[in-house]
A and B are shown apart, each in its own frame.
Chain A
Amino acid sequence: DAKTTQPPSMDCAEGRAANLPCNHSTISGNEYVYWYRQIHSQGPQYIIHGLKNNETNEMASLIITEDRKSSTLILPHATLRDTAVYYCIVRVIQGGSEKLVFGKGMKLTVNP
């Protein structure tokens, strides 16, 4: 149970902002939202995470709705190297243990 829903794919023009949506309507109050991406068959790479406030780092921005049921990852100026599968993940805490459960993700294609 991935607890998140993403569209299977999205296209974006190079140089434009890429807005990647994610629904997590069953998220609990203490569960964080994490974003990872996987380029080709490499190991996934951490991008950003947040609880309820918007977050920004050198890679991206994360906007979380006030009700926390959805979020958007923003790549401000997409490049061809941003073409990858992006995973939106909720860190699940069960019985004292915690896990990151990856779904199928969303394929972002940045076009020249």
Chain B
Amino acid sequence: NAGVTQTPKFQVLKTGQSMTLQCAQDMNHEYMSWYRQDPGMGLRLIHYSVGAGITDQGEVPNGYNVSRSTTEDFPLRLLSAAPSQTSVYFCASRQPGVGKLFFGSGTQLSVL
């Protein structure tokens, strides 16, 4: 049982490059979300989805796009990376109505 799987674990980008952070879960959870964590800060919600075809913005959505074509996958896209997006990114999933989130192991992203 893999749980929540994030890839890649580490990534270095140049300013202006684009990339997609992958997130997959095998628990048939309807709810998935993306957080970023900066040094000395807590986790801030970027985008979330309550089911396939439905996404919504969190606290810090600017510069990020998401889509949810399947229950299992919730990719996060950076269209034009900026140094301010250097952070650790966590994907999480849960069942609706239940607050027990299952987190992935994170992606450490550096934008130069």
Contact = CB atoms under 8 A, between A and B. Distances in A.
Interface string B55-75: 010110000000000000000
B interface, how many residues as a size bin?
20 to 34
B59 A101 contact: yes
Given A44-B90, A46-B100, A102 B106 contact: no
A interface, how many residues as a size bin?
20 to 34
A41 B4 CA distance: 16
Contact of A91 (B4, B40, B58, B99): B99
Nearest to B92: A43
Contacts of A103: 42
A97 B50 contact: yes
A98 interface: yes
A13 to B, nearest CB: 26
